[in-house]
Amino acid sequence: MRTDPFGARLAKALAARGPLCAGIDPHPGLLDAWDLSRNVHGMENFVLKAVDVLAPEVAVVKPQSAFFEAYGASGIAVLERVIDHARSAGALVLLDVKRGDIGSTMAAYAAAYLGGTSTLDADAITVSPYLGFGSLAPALEAGGKGLFVLARTSNPEAAQLQNALLDNGKTVAQSIVDSVAERNAGAGPLGDVGVVVGATVAPGELDLGALGGPILAPGFGAQGAGVAELHRLFGRELRGVLPASSRGLLRHGPDPAALRDEVRRVAASLAG
């Protein structure tokens, strides 16, 4: 059965459910806040309750793989359930793994997360281009799947590398954006390859006009950026922009009604 490319599926999902990307981050502090034990059983309780509320409401659910990996094989088994449950509720799954390697190793990562046969198969993943954009080729060639390439991230440590100037006068971050734009050329309504640009980045650092793909914008919500900052950075229409919030939403649990109300409030603020 033919499946539409990720960019087309994402565009439909955003039109139907809005741009909010809900992170599923079973951080130990959140387990404490939900009065759950800091073990795999508490984590499983947390994430399944969260995905039951969030996945029917948003276009994209973004599990943070590291918090599942911390529990070993049993944590990965929970992640598999989260992916399955989110898809069953109609959400696209963006797995936040930030993988980046070369050759056969990158090909193995692509097979694990984008190959269509693994139990960890996702609609899209985050990847790091800092071994060279060309090193991402195995993931770029995964047909119909999406990538979000780290370009200008919101953590303070990133600026020294990502804002470094190349011989052509462009920053490293801009060169990554330009490489993604070349990959998306001619695709529509959205290309399959997006970038990660923190919502707390200063306006004007990047030229995103030719990108042609989606933008994942962490830093929204608990990290300090609001709707006004999104508009200053990406424009008022927020076309193809996925503001990502995890702890800012999840702290409103464990009561499902309170968590659902917060998701709907944030989604309405983005639409308004």
12 has catalytic annotation: no
Question: What is the mean pLDDT of the segment spanning 197-202?
Answer: 94
Question: What does CATH list as the number for 6-149+215-271?
Answer: 3.20.20.70
Report the first-to-last Cα separation within the chain, whole angstroms. Answer: 38
Is residue 256 reached through a cis peptide bond, with omega within 30 degrees of 0 on the bond before it? no
Determine the pLDDT at residue 1. Answer: 45
Please state whether the predicted TM-score (pTM) of the whole model is above 0.85. yes
Provide the 10 A C-beta neighbour count for residue 188.
Answer: 10
Unique residue bearing structure tokens 């806040």: 33
Structure tokens at 21: 């990307």
Place of tokens 């911390």: 70
Query: String of b and e for 93-116 (b: at least 16 CB within 10 Å)?
Result: bbbbbbbbbeeeebbebbbbbbbe
Quote the CA–CA distance of 80 and 59 in Å, as a whole number: 19
99-112 confidence digits (pLDDT tens) = 999 999 999 999 99
For residue range 43-64, list pLDDT tens digits in order: 999 999 999 999 999 999 999 9
State how far the alpha carbon of 159 is from the alpha carbons of 128, 151, 153, 163, 180, in Å: 15, 11, 8, 5, 20
Going by DSSP bridges, is the β-strand pair 92-99/124-127 parallel, antiparallel, or unpaired?
parallel
Catalytic residue, candidates 12, 49, 62, 98: 98
Cβ 55 vs Cβ 61: under 8 Å: yes
All structural domains of the chain with their residue ranges:
6-149+215-271
Q: What is the mean pLDDT of residues 207-233?
A: 92
**Positive or negative: CA dihedral 112, 70, 255, 264:** negative
What does the longest C-alpha to C-alpha distance in the chain come to? 54
